[in-house]
Structure 1
Amino acid sequence: MAITATQTTVESAIELPDLRQENGREADSSETGPAQGPDQRLNKSVYLKIISAGFSFFVAGVNDGSIGALIPYIIREYDISTAIVSSVYGANFLGWLFAAFANTHLCQYLNLGAMLALGAVFQIAAHALRSWDPPFGLFVVTFWLVSVGQAFQDTHANSWVASAVPKGAHRWLAFIHAMYMAGCLVGPFVSTAIASAGDVSRWYLFYTFPLALGVVNLGLTCVAFRDTLELHQKTVTSESSGRTLGETAENPNEAVSRNKEATQLIKKTASTPSVWLLSLFFFFYLGSVLTAGGWVVEYLVNVRHGDLSQMGYVPAGFSGGGLLGRLLLAEPTHRFGERRMVFCYIVAAIGLQLIFWLVPNIIAASIAVSLIGFFTGPLFPTGISLGSKLFSPDIHSTALPLVFVFAQMGGSLFPIITGVVSADAGVRVLQPILVALLATTAVTWMLVPSPKSTSNTALHQE
């Protein structure tokens, strides 16, 4: 997403990229949008940005996918209950909440590349702190740091990809979200291998792996988005002649103006019903996914009496299924209708969850978990694709973070509820909670409005 130095609204922070310039050509005034023609017209710099966006999702996936596998070790290392360990999800939510409010204001001062780089720095800081076995309180704080970093990178990478290639956006969104699931697939394998090797009290050494990935992520971001790493500059126009006088340094009046613009966009976002309806869907969807991924290992160890060193790989099956689902189901979902196909996927996931619950067999449970990941995998990129059509382009930088905050609210709240309830009733409460969450996800999906054809056209023409 190219961001010019002279634009003064938040729309410039998440505006559609000028692929005419990125492809080294100037389009004439008759062109209707920035991405005329098929995807292959994109040049190397655009593909490099897509790869960078995908890698940032991979790094986030490694972090998120490892949590469920490490929770049993965290509980035993710090000698805490399931209710206390759930605080990591609370810190995660607070980080996303902070980022949602900070993002719109930061976009007044930072360009796309700078926002993405800032997100990468936050994640590096979190993993650096984790890798030296910090006290539990500081360990919880790192989840706030990493979620702020993910929020900045996920929001802007999603917005850029959704707008960069309108004719193939669903494929590129499927790609970057598949990279997230690839990270979730790698995370449990690496974390379980390190945590179960030799001295299990040194499980925290796993975080040197995402730390190294985070450094690569920052470097790749700075190279791919080097054209938008600078700060926003405003221009002053002569009131008498209307001529542009040039860029000016930041002054108090300008800061007030930028904050006022951000506040206006927040109000516009809050008054858009589709933002709240889509947020409600993500609230229950991500709540079900992260609850399943976070507690499935503890469930299999305590209820099904599985071996801890082996059960840690089960979340990898869920992530592997999600990876395949996002790669293989993107095109059928697009061709046969997003609303119809997503509803069918959720119904299939509910059936598989019932099998997981009612069939007391670890192998059957592992297969069911993988298939649940396969059918729920396309839900996130499909929801983001739908949101890019429903929301007007000028509120993307505010609406998408709000959607993500609600998603993370569900992804934090329901694992916390599961942990608190299981502290008394046992972790077997996971199954009825998951069935209820998936059923509610199906209902909320039906409440999300269908985008008007004009909305999509407007998106292409920005």
Structure 2
Amino acid sequence: MHARIQLVTLCWTLFLAGWNDGSLGPLIPKIQEVYHVHYMIISLLFVFGSIGCLGGALVNVLLTQRYGFGKTSLGHRILLKFDSGSSLQIVAYTLQTVGPPFPVFVLASVINGVGLAIQDAQANGYVASLSEDSEAKMGYVQAAYGAGALVAPLVSTQFAQLRHWSFHYLVSLGITALNTIFLALVSRARNQDDCLAQIGQETGGKGPSEESHFRQIISIKAVHFLALFLFVYVGVEVTIGGWIVSYMRGVRGGGPSAGYISAGFFGGLTLGRIVLLPINKKVGERRVIYLYGLIAIAQLVIWLVPSLVGGAISVFIVGLVMGPLYPIAMNHAGRVFPPWLVTGSIGWIAGIATAIIPFVTGAIASKTGIENLEPVVVAMLAMMLVLWKVVPGRQI
């Protein structure tokens, strides 16, 4: 029972992460209209969000080493027993709800990025440390991310057509508040080993050189290879989810309802993380990534065929096959890194894997037109497969 409660709570945390990432795409045209900014300036939301995520990754390593899983997420020394990451998101969403000046809106993205990175690292690190059926559980947790990213565009598309568009972040604020409460009730400021012991899992304790986790993590080449792989993956995911609406409206002639195409992408992402689990197991998680990557590259049809409906279907298929890639990479980290460095390593990897690529896409769109979205995405998908080849397959 305790194991199920913990898993459901972490699913809600990842639902919030997905909600955050899926919200922005349909709102971009409205934000451009309200603040009178072009694509490159809008891209600063991605850049500064990435800076926040990178800062959160560094903070996570330091806090995890000192306080452990529970106390990093909810500890009594950090923000009075409230989840530190979720609390930062409360601040960010509160600022964005009031529709502040654009620089403040961007600042809120930084704060939000820090909070997201801390929670993402803790949740993924914990699930990767589970000894029983961790592959399937990682799939469920990441499917919850996809579910959040699926629901968010449906909601933000509606708010994008309203005068008080920023009230979308009021909904985000409510989801974050619930996340803070759930985490506080379940973890109760215990560290990861104590939480694992509660569900009957033996832990090996901390490894050697406990006082130099960060130094150990950055000295492992596999950490950086996997970080680069996920850097490209997350960049592609956020580029499609964040810019596909602008692409479909600007190039394919879609209307305001084009925001639902973003929801279709994240719907495919969610579905893929569940229904493709048997294929992952049969083919092998190491090899199946190449298969999914090649299928995703076949999305060239979106670029070559001037069809709004065909593009929407292709976006869904790309989401379907890209869905399993992130949880597979997280499971791989749990297998190849020393147990005492798993959570810190995953946090650092997730922080590095932030959305700089969508900024590059925005810069290209600003200079040469949004129609160049697809060539950038296809090139990044090809690069992703090359990077996976150099990620070590054995425990270090």
Q: Which amino acid aligns with 2:328?
A: T
2:54 corresponds, among 94, 97, 120, to 97
Asked whether the 8 Å contact 2:126–2:343 carries over to 1, the reply is no
Q: Shift of residue 395 of structure 1?
A: 1.7
Q: Shift of residue 204 of structure 1?
A: 0.5
Q: Which amino acid aligns with 1:79?
A: H
2:96 matches 1:130: yes
1:414-433 equivalence runs, <5 A: 414-433=357-376
2:194 matches 1:228: no
2:370 matches 1:451: no
1:299 corresponds, among 247, 258, 261, to 247
Match of 2:259 in 1: 312
What CA distance in whole angstroms lies between the structure 1 residues aligned with 2:169 and 2:218? 38
- In 2 relative to 1, CA 167–229 (structure 1 residues): closer, same or farther, beyond 3 Å? closer
1:264-279 equivalence runs, <5 A: 264-279=212-227
Match of 1:241 in 2: none
Q: Shift of residue 397 of structure 1?
A: 3.3
Asked whether the 8 Å contact 1:317–1:369 carries over to 2, the reply is yes
Q: Shift of residue 105 of structure 1?
A: 2.0
Match of 2:234 in 1: 286
What CA distance in whole angstroms lies between the structure 2 residues aligned with 1:93 and 1:82? 17
What CA distance in whole angstroms lies between the structure 2 residues aligned with 1:274 and 1:112? 23
What CA distance in whole angstroms lies between the structure 2 residues aligned with 1:326 and 1:80? 36
2:383 corresponds, among 440, 448, 456, to 440
Asked whether the 8 Å contact 1:95–1:143 carries over to 2, the reply is yes
Match of 2:204 in 1: none
Asked whether the 8 Å contact 1:325–1:376 carries over to 2, the reply is yes
Q: Deviations over 1:323-363 (max 9, x none)?
A: 10001112321232112111100100001x21111110000
2:326 corresponds, among 374, 380, 385, to 380
Asked whether the 8 Å contact 2:98–2:167 carries over to 1, the reply is yes
1:59-458 equivalence runs, <5 A: 59-116=16-73, 117-164=83-130, 166-196=131-161, 200-226=162-188, 228=190, 261-262=210-211, 264-307=212-255, 309-351=256-298, 353-408=299-354, 411=355, 413-452=356-395
Asked whether the 8 Å contact 2:71–2:189 carries over to 1, the reply is no
Secondary structure, counterpart of 1:228 in structure 2: coil
Aligned length: 372
Q: Shift of residue 111 of structure 1?
A: 3.6
What CA distance in whole angstroms lies between the structure 2 residues aligned with 1:187 and 1:100? 24
Secondary structure, counterpart of 1:147 in structure 2: helix
Q: Shift of residue 102 of structure 1?
A: 1.5
Q: Shift of residue 400 of structure 1?
A: 1.1
* Aligned CA-pair RMSD: 1.7
Could you state the TM-score of these two structures normalised by the residue count of structure 2? 0.91
Asked whether the 8 Å contact 2:10–2:123 carries over to 1, the reply is yes
Structure 1, unpaired ranges of 5+: 1-43, 233-259, 456-462
Q: Shift of residue 406 of structure 1?
A: 2.1
What CA distance in whole angstroms lies between the structure 2 residues aligned with 1:363 and 1:303? 13
Match of 1:238 in 2: none
Q: Shift of residue 190 of structure 1?
A: 0.6
Structure 2, unpaired ranges of 5+: 74-82, 195-208
Q: Deviations over 1:390-425 (max 9, x none)?
A: 1111222331122112211xx2x2111111121121
Q: Which amino acid aligns with 2:139?
A: A
Asked whether the 8 Å contact 1:171–1:331 carries over to 2, the reply is no
1:51 corresponds, among 1, 5, 8, to 8
Secondary structure, counterpart of 2:129 in structure 1: helix
Q: Shift of residue 284 of structure 1?
A: 1.2
What CA distance in whole angstroms lies between the structure 1 residues aligned with 2:65 and 2:135? 28
What CA distance in whole angstroms lies between the structure 1 residues aligned with 2:279 and 2:309? 29
Asked whether the 8 Å contact 2:93–2:169 carries over to 1, the reply is yes
What CA distance in whole angstroms lies between the structure 1 residues aligned with 2:164 and 2:305? 35
Q: Shift of residue 261 of structure 1?
A: 4.9
Q: Which amino acid aligns with 1:445?
A: W
Percent identical? 33
What CA distance in whole angstroms lies between the structure 2 residues aligned with 1:77 and 1:109? 44
Q: Which amino acid aligns with 2:293?
A: I
- Larger Rg belongs to: 1
Question: Structure 1: which 4+ aligned runs deviate by more than 4 Å?
Answer: none
Q: Shift of residue 85 of structure 1?
A: 0.7
Q: Shift of residue 229 of structure 1?
A: 7.6
What CA distance in whole angstroms lies between the structure 2 residues aligned with 1:192 and 1:285? 25
Q: Deviations over 1:227-278 (max 9, x none)?
A: 5189x9xxxxxxxxxxxxxxxxxxxxxxxxxxx954x222211221211111
Asked whether the 8 Å contact 1:339–1:446 carries over to 2, the reply is no
Q: Which amino acid aligns with 1:83?
A: M
What CA distance in whole angstroms lies between the structure 1 residues aligned with 2:124 and 2:376? 30
Could you state the TM-score of these two structures normalised by the residue count of structure 1? 0.78
Q: Deviations over 1:125-148 (max 9, x none)?
A: 111111111111111111111111
Q: Which amino acid aligns with 2:5?
A: L
Secondary structure, counterpart of 1:219 in structure 2: helix
Q: Deviations over 1:26-76 (max 9, x none)?
A: xxxxxxxxxxxxxxxxxx222111111010000111111011111111111
